[in-house]
Structures are given as structure tokens and as C-alpha cells.
A = this chain, B = another copy of it.
């Protein structure tokens, strides 16, 4: 498959593209420089050994991570996806793109579209209306873990408030040797079979699993010559913008470049009031830009490390090379890799969360009050002997008819009509104890939000089914950025904690952690007609029900393209 990259408008000959262009030109008449960027992607299962262990991965045009999308603010992205997975469907989510006016191209199977069948071609088309660092990845079952992911970089029209010489991208990931099928089947089994800790950590698709520690594996399966560490070559004295993103299946990470400070300047597409870190904590679904100066002794290389935090890690550190040119890129640093932070020390992670504020001059002030407050208690529990995650005692299940189509086309019975509750039994629930949550149920019910109102979401963490254990959950909202109003420890107190909200310079994000035994408060405007998932970005947690769905202004959504239809009760709604 060919990646066409940028196509000049003059060169377009195909009638369909001409029609597309026509509308794009209409829509962007005032933006003379807006371009169409057209990609043709083939998704396919292939054998790869990203960490020396050979397994099947889903590639895009032969690659995992897939090709990077590089565009400019206001451009239209057209991605033609050909599904060559033989028997498996797919869908691709454009993570961080709000899809204003195109909620049907959010790529969330069961929420905004039907899956793309093997042999079929699906065309995503949307405008990247804001500069920043975004991602794309599969959003169907646990397919993201199979390797279908990549980065989107959107350059701004206006000058940026920080300087750098070179711009580089690093996606962090964790990596399992079992297949997504094995993992999903285990999670859906009685007895429950947990996915366990990942076998390695990848830095932009490269990791190192120690084959010699598993001598039983044949060299056909595990071959130490088949992988090598990630290398970031730098020219001494330059300033690098590193776009660091995490798409881990499970792990919260601490990222570090030995001996170098990182200045955080962007988070999820928003400029951050700069602050300096030695270790960057990053959660699945988050993107950051940091600036790093290659101002250390240029006669050697330095370690890049990625380490699991918030779980009692058994996965070795992900190691890469910060390679000062002209040293050999494989020349090991003379030092041992820097130690990771204590896995269970929440304080520095909480401190980093507090540090992330909107940059002066780029502050979007939040509304000072909200119209509705929804408190979402995150718990783990059993329902009919199956292990689940639940939110306010409701474990989310996806319907087979996507919500967006069901709601827009008035299809009855496509999902549970009862909305999940706006809160939990605040007075009596002890978030520090193992609770049976005996009333927990599974449901596809959603929250219907009044259009053009302000909604607060309080993510309330709690004890899992293991004594004195609470996990970190990175929650990701589709179709929106939200203001991060605050974080806290313990049980959120609606009377007092709201007084500590940051209404001055809160950062806007699309993904935010709720820390162990803590809470996180968000605010957003229901100003984007559509149906939007909001869920824990840990692949297994969402699969186990840790998510909700918001509907807002669906009556204002334009005519749905028939290409998103064809499944569940929308069979027959998809023209050939």
C-alpha cells in the first residue's frame, strides 16, 4: 500500500476526491493554507519481534508503530483504511481530535461506528483544528495492544511560545507476548485470568526481552539479534522538542533521560506553564512535549529509561539511547541506567499532576460554575462470578448498534434506556476497604447531557478487591478537552474540595489520571454534538467495563455517513 502523503489540490484527478476537496475548500475558505493530506493504509497481521520475541502484530503498511501523520492546524486528514486482517474487523480512533462536526469519524466501535470488515475499505475524514501532539490507535476489543497505533503531529499556524531546534516523537508502550485473543478470553473466564504484567516496555516500538532468561524458547521465537534499543541521536548543543506519548495497555510509566532535565511545555495539545522534571510520569493516553537541551558531556551516550510505576513492577526497564553525535549509537553509556522511582510512592506523581497548568497567555478560563456534577466511583467487583470494573456500580458494556446511529436514527432498544447514576452512596461507602458491591450490574446505559451546559466530573478512586490496594486509572474523554480543576486524596468532599478548584489557569487535557485512593475533578462544556466515550485507557480495564458514554446535542448532528453503518440494528443502513 502506498502512503500518498500530501497531495496538492491541482493534482487531484479522482472524482470522489474532487468532491471531497470541494467541501473542504468550502469549509476552509478563509484559511488559504489548509491542505488535504491523504493516506492509504493497509492493516494486516504480520510477524514482528519488537522486543526480540516473535509474535503476530497488526501493522499499518508493514509498520508498528504505524506511519506518523504530520499536518498543519486546519488541514483535512483523509485516511483510507483497508482491512486485510482476514477474519477480524477493526476501527481506528483519532485520539485527542475532537471531531467537531464529524462525530461519526471518532473511530470508536460500538459508540460512533460499526467495525470495518475484512476486505472492506473505510475512509476517515476530519479536520485537525488545533496544533499539538495526538495519537491514533485501534478502538475495538483489545485490538490496540496488537500494535495498531501511531502518532499525529499538528503544527501550529502561529509561533509557539517555546523555542527548539528539532522535533522528535517517542511513543511509549508496554508489550505482552500473549495475543489479545488470549488476554480477552482470560478476562472473560471463570475463574478470572488476569493479563499479568507486560513482558517488556517499548520505546517507540523497540524493546529488549532477555531471551537468555527463557532458554526454553527456540531462537525462532526469541532471537536476541532481532531487536535493538531505541536510539535518539542528538547534535550537541541543540534544543530538542520531544513529543512523548504513552499508549500502554496497562502500565503507568516514569520516563527519564539520564543526566538531562526536561521542560514540560505541552500536554494533550495544550501549552503548559513550563516546569522542569527529571522524571516524567506519563499515563496511557497522555501526550506531552518536553524540551531537552543536549548540553551534557558530548563524548558519551546517556540512558533513556521507561519504568513501571503504580504497580509492583516485574517488567524490566525499557532502555533506549540518548546518543550524542558522533558517538556510535550502540555505545553503551559508562553508567548504570538511573534508578526508577519507588513504584508505590504516589507523592511525586501527584505533585506532577498539580504542576501541570495552562501557560500564561494561553489560558482558556473555565466557567466558574457547573450545571451538573457527576461523581464516578471506580470499583472492582464480581458480577455473576465474572470479574469487572464498575463505575457507580455499573459495569459498562458496548451495544452492537453504535449509540450515535441509534440515537440519531431513533432506533429503539439498541441499548439499555436506564442511565447510570450521577453518584454513589457517599455517606456510607468506604473507599479504603474491599467492598463487595453486591448490587453491581452490567449495562449499556449512557449519560444524556444537556447541550451547551457545563458538566463537572469527579473521578473517585477506591480500594480494589485486593486489601489496601488502589490503582491508577487514566481516564480519556472523546470529543472534548476538559479543564482539570483539581486532584485530591481520599474521598472527594463536595462541600470543601470544590473550594480548592483551580479556576485560574487549569490545564485542558483529554486524558487524566485518578491517583490511588484519590480523586480528580474535571469540567467540560457539552458543546460538541455527538456521542462520546469516557473511559479508563487501560485496555483491560475498559474491556472489563470501566467506562461511560455521554450524549450531547445528538439532534444537532449532521447527516450520518452510511459507511459507519451495517452492524446490529443498522444492518441495511449502509449503501454499497
Is A119 within 8 A of B87, CB to CB? Answer: no
Contacts of A185 in B (CB 8 A): 45-47, 56
Q: Quick one: which of A388-433 are within 8 Å of B by CB?
A: 400, 411
Contacts of A46 in B (CB 8 A): 185, 189
Minimum CB–CB distance for A119 against chain B, Å: 3
Interface status of A232 (Cβ within 8 A of chain B):
no
Known contacts A47-B185, A185-B56; is-contact A572 B568 (Cβ 8 Å): no
Task: Give Cα A568–Cα B574 distance, bound, in whole angstroms.
Answer: 11
Known contacts A216-B217, A217-B216; is-contact A184 B569 (Cβ 8 Å): no
Minimum CB–CB distance for A84 against chain B, Å: 9
Is B117 within 8 A of A567, CB to CB? Answer: yes
Is A86 within 8 A of B184, CB to CB? Answer: yes
Minimum CB–CB distance for A41 against chain B, Å: 17
Q: Quick one: which of A558-576 are within 8 Å of B by CB?
A: 562, 565-576
Residue from the list B56, B143, B575 in contact with A87, Cβ < 8 A: B143
Contacts of A184 in B (CB 8 A): 45, 86
Is B181 within 8 A of A56, CB to CB? Answer: yes
The chain B residue with its CB closest to the CB of A216 is B216
Contacts of A115 in B (CB 8 A): 87, 117-118
Contacts of A179 in B (CB 8 A): 56, 179, 181
Interface status of A555 (Cβ within 8 A of chain B):
no
Minimum CB–CB distance for A490 against chain B, Å: 37
Q: How many copies does the complex hold?
A: 2
Interface status of A345 (Cβ within 8 A of chain B):
no
Task: Give Cα A89–Cα B87 distance, bound, in whole angstroms.
Answer: 6
Minimum CB–CB distance for A107 against chain B, Å: 14
Task: Give Cα A179–Cα B99 distance, bound, in whole angstroms.
Answer: 37
Task: Give Cα A64–Cα B271 distance, bound, in whole angstroms.
Answer: 56
Count of chain A residues with Cβ under 8 Å from any Cβ of B?
46
The chain B residue with its CB closest to the CB of A179 is B179
The chain B residue with its CB closest to the CB of A87 is B141
| Binary B-proximity of A302-335 (CB < 8 A = 1, otherwise 0) | 0000000000000000000000000000000000
Contacts of A180 in B (CB 8 A): 87
Interface status of A182 (Cβ within 8 A of chain B):
yes
Interface status of A297 (Cβ within 8 A of chain B):
no
The chain B residue with its CB closest to the CB of A45 is B185
The chain B residue with its CB closest to the CB of A398 is B119
Is B568 within 8 A of A571, CB to CB? Answer: no
Is A567 within 8 A of B87, CB to CB? Answer: no
Known contacts A46-B189, A118-B89, A189-B46; is-contact A182 B570 (Cβ 8 Å): no
Is A574 within 8 A of B571, CB to CB? Answer: yes
Minimum CB–CB distance for A139 against chain B, Å: 11
Minimum CB–CB distance for A513 against chain B, Å: 27
Residue from the list B47, B193, B572 in contact with A186, Cβ < 8 A: B47
Minimum CB–CB distance for A179 against chain B, Å: 7
Q: Quick one: which of A54-100 are within 8 Å of B by CB?
A: 56, 86-90
Interface status of A385 (Cβ within 8 A of chain B):
no
Contacts of A143 in B (CB 8 A): 87
Task: Give Cα A179–Cα B570 distance, bound, in whole angstroms.
Answer: 32
| Binary B-proximity of A169-186 (CB < 8 A = 1, otherwise 0) | 000000000011110111
| Binary B-proximity of A114-132 (CB < 8 A = 1, otherwise 0) | 1101111000000000000
The chain B residue with its CB closest to the CB of A55 is B182
Contacts of A565 in B (CB 8 A): 571-572
Contacts of A114 in B (CB 8 A): 117
Interface status of A140 (Cβ within 8 A of chain B):
yes
Task: Give Cα A86–Cα B140 distance, bound, in whole angstroms.
Answer: 8
Known contacts A179-B179, A184-B45, A216-B217; is-contact A572 B576 (Cβ 8 Å): yes
Residue from the list B45, B189, B411 in contact with A47, Cβ < 8 A: B189
29 contacts between A and B (CB under 8 A): A45-B185, A46-B189, A47-B182, A47-B185, A47-B186, A47-B193, A56-B185, A86-B141, A86-B181, A87-B88, A87-B141, A87-B143, A88-B89, A115-B117, A115-B118, A119-B400, A119-B567, A179-B179, A216-B217, A411-B576, A562-B572, A566-B566, A566-B567, A566-B572, A568-B576, A570-B576, A571-B576, A572-B572, A572-B573
The residues of A with any CB-CB pair to B shorter than 8 Å are 45-47, 56, 86-90, 114-115, 117-120, 140-143, 179-182, 184-186, 189, 193, 215-217, 400, 411, 562, 565-576
In the complex, the 4 A-B pairs of residues with the closest C-beta atoms, listed nearest first: A216-B216, A119-B400, A87-B141, A571-B574
- Other A-B contacts than A115-B118, A572-B573, 9 sampled, CB-CB below 8 A, are A88-B89, A89-B89, A114-B117, A118-B141, A119-B400, A179-B179, A565-B571, A572-B574, A572-B576
